[in-house]
Amino acid sequence: MSMMSRWRHSTSFTKVTLPGLALAAALALPMMSSPADAAGKTITAVMHSDLRVIDPIITTAYITRDHGYMVYDTLLGMNSKYEIKPQMADWKVSDDKLVYTFTLRDGLLWHDGKPVTAEDCVASLKRWGARDGMGQKLMDFTKSIEAPDAKTIVLTLKEPYGLVLESIGKPSSAVPFMMPKRLAETPTDKSIPEQIGSGPFKFVQAEFQPGVKVVYEKFKEYKPRSEPIDWQAGGKVVKVDRVEWITMPDAQTAVNALQSGDIDFMENGPFDLLPILSKDKDLQVEVLNTLGFQTLGRMNFLNPPFDNPKVRRAAFLALSQKPVLDALVGDPKYYTVCGAVFGCNTPNATDAGAETLIKGNGMEAAKKALAESGYDGTPVVIMAPTDVTTLKAQPIVAAQQLRDAGFKVEVQATDWQTVVTRRASQKPVKEGGWNMFFTNWVVADILNPIANVSTSGRGKSNGGWFGWTEDAKLEELRDKYARATSPDEQKKLAAEVQKEVYDKVIYIPLGEYKVPSVWRKSLTGVTSGAAIPMFWNIDKKD
């Protein structure tokens, strides 16, 4: 039966609303496979977002990170014990801890058939290190990165630095993906011109339809490691011929397609439908990202009114976590009210400075602080994505909380990819800039002050994260953390960083949550991957 026929004859189709019906009909044609595709196994997935930005170094958007893992590979990988393991390369460290030598394993090829060289990897590390927060900090301590021969990468430090391997093996945004030198030499403010990696899948440019579909094909020349898969470590064994990511912004439509067999995998199951999906004998419902997410608000320090720290403080006092989490998740089983900047129940966890966020008792103080701040009624422009389930509620709830405190607020509804693009603008609001946006970090991205780029104080001229806060004290504390060797010292410094984050309102953690994925039981070998949806090692029954 054709894809179109299956849509028409789906027994669960009747549950779709009229708008969903129109959307399903519109989506049916792009989903149809061509005769050439029919010969192999294809996994069809609905991811958490549409993919538009496809350079995995210039954005921290998770859908772009997920795309990066499909196409590119990494020198190192983290396993489920948080250990750094070899992926593309093995390594050794000099006795004085100043020289790290990486040796590429045999058989690595780019998708265009050319061999992977150490020069490619050096250029890739430098491009990543100029953009990523953890990479920037590593480069601050780096004297040189060189390729003495085609298989050897030598990183020499100015002084011992405790997070070299953890930086290069970091599992999430922005990941130090390896790419050919000609692509890695692209300036970090421009997208790479083509998608050529050495990873387990090849990007099919001819079938890329932003807003509709992304297609990946098995890279037949890829040689996986021999070790068992364990998060981002081990062998990436591809067992299917194609993976297609289909855009379905309407959750009910995606659920119907999953139940009818028109798609195989849904990255984010809708919370309100989980009880129904859990009873479907053909579906598996499971949290793959056991670390969960931290959701947060980020202000723009360049534009009024949040260039004024007193106004930021008033906004901080107005916001609270539970209303956001109730709207976002609903079921307390899947969320945690928690003020820890570096993740709940982690070695660096503390609620210090987060009392009003946790208790929701700061509104009167917010009104008073705003009245005393000199706020002149400048509207707060909040970017609000409407197409991502886990990002729709935060702007709406926060906007109302800010209005209750006395702010004028303008919520501008767009899709998430527009937010991802627009948040890079440093222009005034009237020229396309912004005041506030909301996003989520996987907890793997925020475990310490170096990994958590939201705590950066580098500012707009030194590659700071969107919002561009400049804070010399933060950078001093982060450097001290990077040099710290004992867990007790690290915990103390992390607490000092958290105090500065809350005192200066660098960003606003709004709690943590977990989202189950849902897939048809015809898929086997689905595993967690430090919050990364992994399509290698998955097989599909006929």
Same domain, 370 and 478: yes
For residue 297 the two structure tokens come to 């608000």
- C-alpha 385/C-alpha 525 separation (Å) is 33
Is 192 a domain residue? no
Q: Can you list the residues of the chain whose pLDDT is less than 70?
A: 1-39
CA-to-CA dists, residue 15 to 10, 11, 24, 63, 389, angstroms? 10, 9, 12, 28, 19
pLDDT of residue 347: 85
Predicted confidence at residue 6, as pLDDT, reads 36
Q: Which residues contact 179 (CB under 8 A, 6 or more apart)?
A: 72, 120, 124, 192, 196, 197
From first CA to last CA, the distance across the chain in angstroms is 14
202 and 71 Cβ atoms separated by less than 8 Å? yes
The amino acid sitting at 59 is T
List of residues 6+ apart from 414 with CB closer than 8 A: 383, 384, 385, 386, 422
pTM beyond cutoff 0.85? no
Instruction: Quote the CA–CA distance of 236 and 534 in Å, as a whole number.
Output: 9
Cβ 318 vs Cβ 363: under 8 Å: yes
Assess whether 285 and 303 both reside in one domain. no
Is-contact 77 199, C-beta < 8 A?
no
Query: Do 161 and 22 have their domain in common?
Result: no
Q: Are strands 152-157 and 293-299 parallel, antiparallel or unpaired?
A: unpaired
| CATH number, position 60 | 3.40.190.10
CA–CA distance, 468 with 461 (Å, rounded to integer): 9
- How many domains does the chain fold into? 3
Q: What is the CATH number of the domain that holds 125?
A: 3.90.76.10
Are 62 and 80 in a shared domain? Answer: no
The domain that contains 500 carries what CATH number?
3.10.105.10
In whole angstroms, give the CA distance from residue 400 to residue 255: 30
Kindly state whether residue 41 falls inside one of the protein's structural domains. Answer: yes
> Which pLDDT value is given to residue 39?
54
Tell me, yes or no, whether 189 lies in a domain: no
Query: Which conformational region is residue 231 in: left (phi greater than 0), alpha (psi within -120 to 50 degrees), or beta?
Result: left
Under DSSP, the state recorded for 113 is: S
- In terms of domains, do 474 and 357 share one? yes
Separation in Å, CA 309 to CA 67, 195, 456: 37, 42, 17
Question: Residue 133's pLDDT is what?
Answer: 83
**Residues 241, 320 within the same domain:** no
- 190, part of any domain: no
Domain co-membership, 271 together with 349: no
For residues 462 and 400, state if they share a domain: yes
Q: How far apart are CA 91 and CA 100, in angstroms?
A: 7
Q: Which domain holds residue 114?
A: 72-184
